[in-house]
Amino acid sequence: MSDSHIVIYCTVPNQEVGMNIAEDLVAGRYAACVNVLPGITSVYRWKGDICRDNEFLLIIKSRNTLFDEIRDRIRLLHPYEVPEIISLSISHGSDPYMQWISDNTHS
């Protein structure tokens, strides 16, 4: 449909943090839907060390125009010093689903 819709990835340390962020974003109409996926393992470099942590992954569906507000909400609610908050444009999607995202987020 259009690149006005995005998917944002954000890892969180546990389900409680993930659900808190997900519910905040959906209740505030920043996101139409947030999937909270358990069971991922992240391997990364942090302050000179190689780290490995079990995390949850949030997949956030929204509009491109809401990215800054979503980023700010996540930063407010997230316990990490540097949380992962990355956005990917949705270049194609079913028209009804893309409309549903638009209808369930504020502009």
Which strands form 33-46's sheet, in the order they lie side by side?
A: 33-46, 49-63, 5-12, 86-89
CATH code for the domain of 67? 3.30.70.120
CA–CA gap between residue 96 and residue 10 (Å, rounded): 25
State the Cα–Cα distance between residues 9 and 87, nearest whole angstrom: 7
* 52-91: pLDDT as tens digits: 999 999 999 999 999 999 999 999 999 999 999 999 999 9
pLDDT at 3: 62
What's the structural domain count of the chain? 1
| pLDDT in the model for residue 1 | 41
What would the pLDDT profile of 11-51 be if each residue is shown by its tens digit? 999 999 999 999 999 999 999 999 999 999 999 999 999 99
Domain that holds residue 96: 5-103
How far is Cα 2 from Cα 88, in angstroms, rounded to an integer? 12
pTM for this prediction: 0.95
Nearest to 105 by CA among 35, 33, 34, 30: 30
Is pLDDT of 100 > 70? Answer: yes
For residue 65, what is the DSSP state?
G
Beta strands 86-89 and 33-46: pairing type? unpaired
